[in-house]
Structures are given as C-alpha cells and as structure tokens.
A and B are shown apart, each in its own frame.
Chain A
Amino acid sequence: MEMCLDADSPVTTAVLPCMPEFYQSHRSQAYPMRSCPRGLALVLSNVRFDSANTDLDIRRGGEVDEETLRRLFMELDFTVSLHKDLTAEAMRRCLEQFAQRQEHAQYDCTVVCLLSHGVEGSVYGTDGQLLELDWVFEVFDNARCPLLQNKPKMFFIQACRGEEMDNGVDQLDGQERT
C-alpha cells in the first residue's frame, strides 16, 4: 500500500554540469565515469494491476515518477528503457535480458529502477505475484553479470516495505515550526 498526499512541486531545472577542475580533482578516488552514454538504465513501473488476480490499487501519480526518471537519466546521458505494467514473470525476463545486454561491456555503470507496490524484500508484478529484490541483485552480481564487474550498479526502489504508516513522533524541542 502507498499513500498519496502533500503539496510540494517537482523540480525540473536542468541537471547542473560538472566542471573540468572538479573532474580532475576527484577522478582518482572515483569509479571511472567517462563513457558516452554513461550506461543503460532500466525503469520498470507498475501503475495498473490486474483486477482479476489481485486487489492492488492503481498507483496514481506513478506515471509522474516514470516520466521524472526517464527524463532525469536521459539528461544524465543514460540510454533509458521504460517498461510499464509487467507481471512478475515478465519483470524477471526483462531484468535478465537487460543484465545480459552486450552494451554493458562499453559502458561505465548501470541503473535499475523498480516502481510498484511491494512488501519487505519484494515488489509486486501486475498479476499480484512477487518479485524478490534479492533475486534482482543476483542477476547483476559478479558471477551472473560479468560485463558489469567492478562497475557501479545503481538501484532505486519505490515501493512499500510493509503496511505500517509512520505517524511520526514529536520532536522534543519541536513546539513551533519555522
């Protein structure tokens, strides 16, 4: 379950560019990051769920996330693949195919974003079946994905990890907010 509230606005200012001096002074302690494109990015986003198999609600606002991430990683010079509303099995196939793409050999990193309903350790396919995050990490590990050995692999998981709502706690000195 996820909830849907509050009123802040998303920022769409351009990604600030890195300066040559900054690159020169930080490259030695950093992962190599020079390939063009930087890497492949995969976004799997489930917004609408199969009502015949599950009573998971439509994730309103989920399309905004898809577009936000697609634009962000495009601007960061990733080749972005966006797939919507997949069953758990289709997500698995998609992730396996993505991890095996030969382009990884030429690129310096990769990104995987999973957006769906979820429970601790897993996210839901549109069919109400669970995809285990540990399985996902395994697909990209040093044994199964040798083309990405020693290259940074980024994962972003937008999903619930339980049903508990965090109602918050009063801060001791938090009488008045400024």
Chain B
Amino acid sequence: EREEKDRERLRVKLPQRSDMICGFATLKGTAAMRNTKKGSWFIQELNTTIRQRANDTHLADILVQVNGQIKSREGYAPGSAHHRCKEMSEFTSSLCKDLYLFPKYYPNN
C-alpha cells in the first residue's frame, strides 16, 4: 500500500490541453482576405515572416510580426466595395516555453 501511495505522489499530471499555439487569419465574426493570384494574406505573411525571421525569432513573436503586417494591409479592388478593406489576424497560445524552429540547425551534425 505504501508503494501505491509513492506511485501516486510521484505521478506527474498535465492539464487536459497544453502546449498549443493557433494562428487565426482573422478575428471572430469577420471575413478573411485572399488574393486570387498570390493566396491568402495571412498565409503569405506567415510564409514571408517565417522564412526571414525563424532563424532568430520564436513563433509567438513571429505571429506578432504577422499581426503587424496584416494590420497594415488593405484590399485592392478599385471601384468595388472591398477596396481598402482591412483584416486583423490573431493567435492563441498555451505554449509554456519559447518555440524556436531552429531552422536547418542540427546540433549533432
């Protein structure tokens, strides 16, 4: 019985859900923008920012920079209702450490 109590004491528990980060193209209630030739704004900015910054920026900060890029973008469709329309991205995170992808770096090689 003592053994059982020790096992119980040593058992590490986790929350049901943790260590997730989710980037959303747009805010609750709103439409997400997509260029028919270049793709979605959010995926474009995510791609660009990761390519340029993942070497020295963790993912939550990358998504902050994506937010900055999305904030400054505007729809371009002169004459239509969507001309100069806006979008705002966001992310939610239950990460517990910095998430660096350390691209192309393999410590053992």
Contacts and interface: CB of A to CB of B under 8 A. Distances in A.
Contacts of A61: 34-40
Contacts of A140: 20
23 contacts: A3-B85, A8-B73, A16-B54, A18-B103, A19-B105, A22-B56, A23-B105, A31-B95, A65-B40, A65-B43, A68-B44, A137-B20, A149-B14, A150-B14, A150-B19, A155-B22, A156-B43, A157-B23, A157-B24, A160-B31, A161-B28, A162-B30, A165-B31
Interface string B84-105: 1111100000010111111111
A172 interface: no
Nearest to B59: A154
B63 to A, nearest CB: 9
A161 B22 CA distance: 14
B77 interface: yes
Chain B residues touching A, majority SS: loop
A36 interface: yes
A2 B34 contact: yes
A161 B38 contact: no
Contacts of B44: 8, 10-11, 68
Contact of B50 (A76, A77, A120): A76
A178 to B, nearest CB: 12
A164 B43 contact: no
Nearest to B23: A156
A115 interface: yes
B21 interface: yes
